[in-house]
C-alpha cells in the first residue's frame, strides 16, 4: 500500500478518507480469509473485527506488515470466540416452513458473482485447516513467513512446510479436476456454504 504510514496517521487523526483507503486495501483479503474459516458469517465477523480495530486504532504503531499481523490476529481471536461461543451452530428450521420462506438470494446473481477468486478460496478451504490457513495467510493476506508464524504460533520452518504440503495437495486437486467438466452456475451457487462445494465436486467425480 502506498504511503501506509501517512494513511494510518491520517486515520488516527480522524480522516475518514484515509480510513476508507485502509479498509479497501485490507477488507478483501480479510473477507476471503473469513470465508474460508466461517463462510456463512464472514461478512458479519469482518464488520465486528473492524469495530475492534477501530477501537484500538489510535494506539496502533507499526508498518504495513504489523498492521496486517494485528488485523489477522484479531480475526483469529474473533473466530475462536465464534467457535467457542457456539455461534456456529445453525438455527434449526422445520422443513415444512422452508417452502413458505421467500428466497433471500438470487442464484443466478450469486453465480455470476462467484469468480475465479471465490473458487480458488473454496479449493484452498478444502485443505487441512493448518495448511489452508498457512497458504491463505501467505497468499491472500500477503504476510511474510515470520508474521504468519507469529499468528499461527508456529515456527517459520513449520509454516514453510505447511505451505509446501498445502501446495502439493492443491496441485493434486487441480489435476484431479482437470479430468472433470467445469461446474455449472447452479452448482457454484453453493460456494461459500460449509462443505457444499467440496461435496458437489466429489459428486462430479463419481
Told to check if 46 binds another protein by CB under 8 A, we report: yes
Q: CA dist 129 to 87, 134, 151, 168, 201, Å?
A: 19, 8, 14, 15, 19
What is the rounded CA–CA span in Å between residue 159 and residue 165?
10
**Least distance from C-beta 92 to another protein, angstroms?**
28
Q: Enumerate residues 6+ apart whose C-beta is below 8 A from 21.
A: 1, 7
Give the x-and-dash track for 108-147 against another protein (CB under 8 A).
-----x-xxx-xxx-xx----------xx-xxx-x-xx--
Q: How far apart are CA 67 and CA 44, in angstroms?
A: 21
Closest Cα partner for 197 from 29, 36, 31? 36
Contact pattern for another protein over residues 152 through 191, marking x by CB under 8 A: --------xx-xxx-xx-xx--xx--x-------------
Q: Which residues bind another protein (CB under 8 A)?
A: 1, 9, 11-14, 16, 19-20, 23-24, 27-29, 31-32, 43, 46-47, 50-51, 54-55, 57-59, 64, 113, 115-117, 119-121, 123-124, 135-136, 138-140, 142, 144-145, 160-161, 163-165, 167-168, 170-171, 174-175, 178
Amino acid at each position: 500500500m502506498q504511503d501506509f504510514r501517512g494513511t494510518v496517521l491520517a486515520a488516527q487523526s480522524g480522516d475518514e478518507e484515509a480510513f476508507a483507503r485502509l479498509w479497501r486495501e485490507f477488507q478483501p483479503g480479510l473477507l476471503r480469509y473469513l470465508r474460508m474459516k466461517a463462510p456463512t458469517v464472514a461478512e458479519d465477523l469482518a464488520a465486528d473485527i473492524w469495530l475492534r480495530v477501530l477501537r484500538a486504532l489510535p494506539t496502533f504503531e507499526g508498518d504495513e506488515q504489523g498492521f496486517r499481523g494485528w488485523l489477522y490476529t484479531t480475526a483469529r481471536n474473533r473466530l475462536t470466540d465464534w467457535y467457542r461461543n457456539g455461534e456456529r451452530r445453525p438455527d434449526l428450521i422445520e422443513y415444512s416452513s422452508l417452502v413458505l420462506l421467500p428466497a433471500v438470494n438470487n442464484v443466478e446473481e450469486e453465480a455470476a458473482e462467484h469468480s475465479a477468486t471465490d473458487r480458488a478460496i473454496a479449493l484452498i478451504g478444502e485443505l487441512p485447516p493448518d495448511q489452508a490457513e498457512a497458504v491463505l495467510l501467505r497468499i491472500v493476506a500477503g504476510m511474510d513467513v515470520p508474521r504468519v508464524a507469529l499468528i499461527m504460533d508456529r515456527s517459520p520452518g513449520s509454516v514453510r512446510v505447511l505451505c509446501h504440503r498445502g501446495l502439493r495437495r492443491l496441485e493434486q486437486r487441480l489435476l484431479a479436476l482437470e479430468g472433470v467438466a467445469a461446474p455449472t452456475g447452479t452448482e457454484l451457487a453453493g460456494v461459500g456454504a460449509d462443505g457444499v462445494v467440496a461435496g458437489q465436486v466429489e459428486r462430479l467425480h463419481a
